[in-house]
Every structure is written in C-alpha cells, then in structure tokens.
Amino acid sequence: MSYTIAEKILKEHSNLKEISPGQFINSDIDLIMVHEQLGGRIHIEYEKLGIDYVWDPDKIFFILDHWVPPPTISAAKMHQDARRFAEKYKFTNNYGYQLDKGICHQVLPEMGFARPGMLIVGSDSHTTTYGAFNCLSTGIGATDVSVVFATGKMWFKVPESFKINLSGTLDKGVMSKDFILTLIGDISTKGAIYKSLEFHGNGVQSLSIDSRMTVANMVVEAGAKCGVFLLDKKLKDWLEKRTEKQYSKVLPDEGAEYEKEFHYNLSEITPVVAKPSNPGNIAKIEDVEGYEIDQAFLGGCTNGRMEDLRIAAKILNSKKINSNTRMIVTPASKEIYLHALREGLIEIFLSAGAVVTNSTCGACIGGHLGVLGPEDVCISSTNRNFIGRMGDPSSEVFLASPATVAASAIKGKITDPREAL
C-alpha cells in the first residue's frame, strides 16, 4: 500500500497494518491543545465521566487567548473554571495564568510543541495551523476533548487527500493569504470537506514558515480536516531554534493516491478579498477597490506574524491612517510583539494612528478590542467574515492580506497594496 501524509500519520498512530480512506479508526493522540473552551463546555462534559485523572497531563497544552484579558465578568469566570480544571488534573503545560503569551496557534509552535509526524488535536477549528510543521493537526469539539483527556485516543475517519502543487513565487505585494483565499474561492467552502490538503512543489519552498502557517490556518475554511506541508530546509532551521526533541519527517509514498490534484503558479496569484459574509466569496481587488471602510484590522492567528507586521509597517511607514478610519493591530504572540517592538514596527503603527493591542483572539471573534458597530465595514487579516462574526450582524467584514489591510487603512477604502509598495 502507498500512503499520503495524512494516511501515514494516522496509520502510525492506530496500530493497524493497513488503512484506507473512509475507514473509521481509533488513533493515539500525541498532543491536545485547549483554550477557554476548557472553562466552557469541556469541564462540564468531563465531569460527567466521574474520573479523577487525565490520561497524560504532559500531553495537554492549555492557554487562554480568546478573551484576554477578560473583558467581562462572565469571561473572567470562564477563565477561573478553566484554570481550576487545569490545576485539579495537574496539567504540565499550564499557561492559564500567563495572559501575556498570545494566541494558541502561534504560541504552541513557537514553544516547539508542533513537530513533524505528530498527531495533534485542539479545541479550536484553526488547529489546522500546525500542518505547516509536517504534522497532522485538526480541530475538535468539547466532547472529543473529553474523550482524549480520558483515554488519549480519538475516533477518526481516514480522509481522502488532495494534492496541491505550487510553482513560482508570489509577486511583490501579494501574500500567501491571497493564495489561500483564491484556493477557497476556486474549490468553495465545501470543496474540501473532510479532506486532507497536501502542499507540494517548488513554490512551497519560496513560502516562509509564517506564510505556510497562514495557508494551513485557513484550509478549514474550505472544509478540510487538515493541510499538510512537507519538511524542507526552512522548516528544519525553524524547528532547530524551537525544540531539541527528535522528530521523524513524513513523506508521502510513491504512488500515494490523491482524489484530486490542483496546480497553482504563485506568480499568477493577485490580491483578492473575501467579501461578506463567507470566506469563499472571493473577488479580485480591482472589483472592490474604493469601497469605504471604517476599520482595518491587522493580526490574529491567521496573519499576526512578523512577516505580516513587517509588510504592513513598510506600507504605513511615515504615513497616517485615514482620518475616518480606525486601525487595530494585534500581534499573534508576545514574542512577535517584542520582536516588532525592537524592530521599530510598533512605533510605526502608533505613529500612523493605529491602536496596538495585546495578543488575543479578541476582535476576530467580536469579543473585545475592536468590536464592530451597526453597518461598520472592516477590512481584516483574519479568517472568517460570517454575519456578526466581528460584532453587529449588520457589519461587513472583508478578509484580505496584511498588505491590503495596511494600504486600505491609509486610504480609508479598499486599496490595491501593489500601488502602496
């Protein structure tokens, strides 16, 4: 049998001689990430089991990031419940008190917890982000988390795989966000339901780890179970700085079967946006240019990394944000925040008139630090633009790259970033 990356990882975690797409299996989980949901439904579901242990406290990564610091009493209570649970079950990797650390999908890889070959699950749909590190990682709900906490195992349906071949390099002002939005637009938000997307080709090597994380983050917007990248020199170098732990790279077998294959030449990708209210509602920048915005949001787990802040700072350097527009910058982690501070990027954002917040999921989920009011229009580097996602149900969210967000903030309307660089 020849296997894709997803099949290989699942097989190696399932103690089975053979597996095939569509098969239901029980697999051993290497790591589980939980956030505020621990104080939401997870602790309620888990207590129903009536057990006083978790399978392996070392394999749980707990961090608070969605409502950080808590903007309401109810959010503060949620945090208390989550922390209480983490203490009761003696979680080893308990970051429930370190509200400064940042967003789970950035912090977990920064700390070297995502490594090639691993099977990772998390109580958040964007757990797919760790696919950038040659591992299989996917989002789950509260009852699944409880099952993993109790047993270390979870049921999976072995996914079919799509092979996405990339060639070429992105043009100036075009980012991996434009590529992943283009892909979602092409295959639709249901185009990859339950599938594993494998990214191949020379084009991948031109993408930074930051860029790959953006792509893996958003594969779930096409319905995918996971998006996986191969191990290359760039990833090896990245991992070397982050972990001393051993890992084994996962390559697909010769002759592995893919349900579909796609080819994209990155040099042909141009800036795009996802119009309200669906991440698959893609338009070329030319078709929406000039649409007035009230808020520009840069940051989050999709696009709050150094590469994103750097390009935005380059565009905003010595410029002012439009007087009728608000801009909010949320670095994905404290590490990034500090790095950006030392590089002078934070000063550029502040001088341009942006509000720079701590690292949190706040604005992306309409939680705090940038909630939209009635009929507000926001251009955002985040991953979802559903009705009411960032605030009032009558507000509109356009998803775009950090470059497009920054260029648009200056003009107060949706702007092609290629003209601003």
28 binds other proteins (CB under 8 A): no
**Shorter beta-carbon distance to other proteins: residue 78 or 348:** 78
- Beta-bridge partner residues of 31: 120
Report how far Cα 250 is from the mean position of its chain's Cα atoms: 21
Report how far Cα 66 is from the mean position of its chain's Cα atoms: 13
b/e burial code for range 115-147 (CB count within 10 A of at least 16 → b): bbbbbbbbbbebbbbbbbbbbbbbbbebebbbb
Helix axes 306-316, 209-218, angle to 10 degrees: 100
Judged by DSSP in three states, 100 sits in coil
74 binds other proteins (CB under 8 A): yes
* Minimum distance, C-beta of residue 99 to other proteins, in the bound complex (Å): 16
Q: How many Å apart are CA 158 and CA 255, to the nearest integer?
A: 18
* Minimum distance, C-beta of residue 185 to other proteins, in the bound complex (Å): 14
**Shorter beta-carbon distance to other proteins: residue 247 or 398:** 398
27 binds other proteins (CB under 8 A): no
In the shown chain, the binding pattern of residues 271 to 300 toward other proteins, with x for contact by CB under 8 A and - for none, equals: -------x-x--------------------
190 binds other proteins (CB under 8 A): yes
223 binds other proteins (CB under 8 A): yes
> H-type helices in 152-299, by residue range?
176-187, 202-205, 209-218, 233-242, 285-288
232 binds other proteins (CB under 8 A): no
Measured distance between the N- and C-terminal CA atoms of the chain, rounded to whole angstroms: 50
97-156: which residues touch other proteins (CB under 8 A)? 123-125, 138-144, 146-147, 150-151, 155
* Minimum distance, C-beta of residue 389 to other proteins, in the bound complex (Å): 5
40 binds other proteins (CB under 8 A): yes
Give burial (CB, 10 Å; 0-12/13-18/19+) of 48. exposed
75 binds other proteins (CB under 8 A): yes
Both tokens of 418, joined, read: 């290629």
**Shorter beta-carbon distance to other proteins: residue 77 or 245:** 77
* Minimum distance, C-beta of residue 187 to other proteins, in the bound complex (Å): 12
24 binds other proteins (CB under 8 A): yes
Both tokens of 226, joined, read: 């996971």
Both tokens of 392, joined, read: 């009032």
* Minimum distance, C-beta of residue 22 to other proteins, in the bound complex (Å): 9
**Shorter beta-carbon distance to other proteins: residue 97 or 194:** 194
Report how far Cα 369 is from the mean position of its chain's Cα atoms: 19
194 binds other proteins (CB under 8 A): yes
381-420: which residues touch other proteins (CB under 8 A)? 384, 386-389, 393
* Minimum distance, C-beta of residue 139 to other proteins, in the bound complex (Å): 4
